[in-house]
Amino acid sequence: MTTTARDVVQLKLERAFDTMDANNDSYVDWSDYQQLVDRYISVFKLGQNDPRAGGIHAFYQMYWNELIRHARPNGQQQRLSKEQFVEANRLASIDTSRLNMVEGCGHAIFDCIDVDGDNEISKEEFETFLRKVWKVSQPDAIETFHKLDLDGDGHISRQEFIRAAHEYFYSNDPNAPGSLLFGHV
């Protein structure tokens, strides 16, 4: 009897879909992403003219456009089912012809989380990000922080965060630090 390995990337993307589907209509559309952007801006108290607010909005707008381009939804509806969302993310994460989604995601999110601008994410900053933006429980947020802090210095560097973004989109290891980036699978 053969055992099929779990597709951890699919599980992570399905979980992201469930979190993104703000109105629970089994689809994501730009309004779901706009709510996410608004949470970043609100949670991290980014002013209207703050470049980080513009950066997170611009990134998610480009990301959404890439998802739509890769999903090619039927008709004029600009919304994605869970299946379309997963497939579009897989395709967009490897197609860097217009947007390097993984790198862009990592940098745009890092810039928002790093509230004090010291180019490191503290435990408090990371916990705020996971609990208030992505709605992950506090114990999971603390555990994830410690796993992402690869050198154990008490902060997540930009390099550690970008590495985690890569693991999130590409690693099938459920225990890889980046697989926990938005909470446990």
* Tens digits of residue pLDDT in 102-111: 999 999 999 9
Q: Domain with 51 in it: what CATH number? A: 1.10.238.10
Residue 2: pLDDT above 70?
no
Residue 74 within any structural domain of the chain: yes
This prediction's pTM: 0.90
Average pLDDT rounded to a whole number, residues 166-170: 94
Residue 41: pLDDT above 70?
yes
Number of domains, the chain: 1
Which of the four pLDDT bands, split at 50, 70 and 90, describes residue 112? very high
Residue 182 within any structural domain of the chain: no
Which of the four pLDDT bands, split at 50, 70 and 90, describes residue 77? confident
Range(s) of the domain holding residue 135: 8-172
What percent of the chain is predicted at pLDDT more than 70?
Answer: 95
Phi first, then psi, for residue 109 (nearest 5°) are -70, -45
User: What is the C-alpha to C-alpha distance for residues 19 and 51, in angstroms, rounded to an integer?
Assistant: 26
Residue 121 within any structural domain of the chain: yes
Residue 178 within any structural domain of the chain: no
Looking up tokens 């309004």, which residue turns up? 31
Average pLDDT rounded to a whole number, residues 70-77: 75
Residue 183 within any structural domain of the chain: no
Helices 101-113 and 158-170, packing angle to 10 deg? 140
